[in-house]
């Protein structure tokens, strides 16, 4: 199984130190731990942060052959603040290296050869990376769009156009309600707004995460629910990315929709019970967590 992702690679700068991050990378790190061949298309600065970022990505066995080097823009550093419940807010500096990802033939070929291509909305804030992504999406077999609303780094008109080309859209409940309202929905319930956004975008699949309350997965007109797994939350950084990795892994293995969303919820909860976006969690640990003896 081969998955490629596109977008931000960065350092999450917590009060107690820097941690490797970026949603497209976090998803791949988790997929790699599940045995998937994962490669990242991104760009780093020609600086010490960039060298260390490369070293750490390689240590997680994610392919770096498509990680470009920028001679002008610095490696991305994001200030992270955690509230009393472990929920994170981010200060994302613009511009940085991953805003200037260029089109490369090797990247086009990798995407065409992949079982899934994962990309997010944040990487479209600059016209250079945005134009590159548009070229790559044309090559993809299965397009997974991770809506990641980080004010002020998004445009709702552009988001809708991206959703219309996706085979699977993932977003959280706050993002769902914000976008549904923006696009004219008069509904108040999650289920009605999922159907509204799915029909508006024409996507066959959509998944909405609900934090500690699980997720709702929409596929071909049907809704599948999971109410979540209870854990002691360390922080929520990366839990949504691992959720998407789990969902992708199961769907690519032709799992039933309910099995896929249950597995994804378990993986997201386990990550939230650890500090950082990519703690080591084995497939056996996930299975034991879902079905304790």
Per residue in 141-182, pLDDT tens?
A: 999 999 999 888 899 999 999 999 999 999 999 999 999 999
Q: How confident is the model at residue 65 (pLDDT cuts 50, 70, 90)?
A: very high
Measured distance CA(273)–CA(280) in Å, rounded: 12
What mean pLDDT comes out for the span 70-96?
A: 87
Q: Taking all residues of the chain, what is their mean pLDDT, rounded to a whole number? A: 95
pLDDT tens sequence across 234-272: 888 889 999 999 999 999 999 999 999 999 999 999 999
Tokens of 47: 């600086």
Q: How confident is the model at residue 80 (pLDDT cuts 50, 70, 90)?
A: confident
Q: How confident is the model at residue 2 (pLDDT cuts 50, 70, 90)?
A: very high
Q: How confident is the model at residue 85 (pLDDT cuts 50, 70, 90)?
A: confident
236: nearest Cα among 156, 151, 291, 174: 174
What mean pLDDT comes out for the span 121-125?
A: 95
pLDDT tens sequence across 176-203: 999 999 999 999 999 999 999 999 999 9
Q: How far is CA 45 from CA 4, 29, 169, in A?
A: 21, 21, 30
Architecture of the domain spanning 2-290: 3-Layer(aba) Sandwich (3.40)
Q: How many Cα atoms sit within 13 Å of 18 on the Cβ side?
A: 14
H-helix segments, 60-189: 105-112, 127-137, 156-165, 173-182
List the domain boundaries for the chain. 2-290
Residue 98 has pLDDT above 80, yes or no: yes
Residue 229 has pLDDT above 80, yes or no: yes
- pLDDT at position 81: 81
Residue 129 has pLDDT above 80, yes or no: yes
- Of the chain, the percentage scoring pLDDT greater than 90 comes to 86
């Amino acid at each position: 199984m081969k998955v490629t992702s596109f977008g931000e690679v960065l350092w999450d700068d917590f009060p107690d130190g820097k941690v490797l991050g970026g949603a497209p990378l976090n998803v791949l790190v988790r997929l790699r731990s599940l045995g998937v061949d994962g490669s990242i298309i991104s760009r780093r600065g020609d600086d010490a942060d960039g060298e260390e970022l490369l070293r750490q990505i390689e240590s997680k066995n994610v392919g770096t052959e498509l990680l470009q080097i920028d001679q002008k823009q610095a490696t991305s550093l994001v200030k992270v603040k955690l509230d009393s419940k472990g929920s994170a807010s981010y200060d994302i500096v613009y511009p940085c290296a991953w805003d200037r990802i260029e089109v490369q033939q090797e990247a086009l070929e990798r995407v065409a050869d992949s079982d899934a291509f994962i990309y997010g909305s944040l990487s479209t804030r600059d016209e250079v990376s945005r134009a590159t992504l548009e070229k790559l999406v044309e090559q993809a077999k299965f397009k997974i769009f991770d809506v990641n609303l980080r004010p002020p780094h998004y445009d709702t008109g552009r988001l809708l156009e991206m959703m219309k080309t996706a085979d699977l859209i993932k977003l959280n409940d706050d993002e769902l309600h914000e976008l549904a309202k923006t696009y004219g929905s008069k509904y108040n319930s999650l289920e009605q707004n999922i159907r509204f956004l799915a029909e508006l975008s024409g996507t066959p699949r959509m998944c909405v995460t609900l934090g500690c309350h699980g997720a709702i997965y929409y596929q071909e007109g049907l809704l599948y629910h999971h109410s979540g797994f209870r854990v002691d939350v360390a922080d929520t950084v990366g839990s949504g990315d691992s959720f998407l990795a789990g969902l992708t892994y199961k769907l690519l293995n032709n799992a039933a929709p309910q099995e896929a969303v249950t597995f994804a919820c378990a993986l997201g909860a386990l990550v939230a019970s650890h500090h950082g976006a990519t703690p080591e969690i084995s497939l056996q640990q996930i299975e034991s967590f879902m079905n304790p003896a």
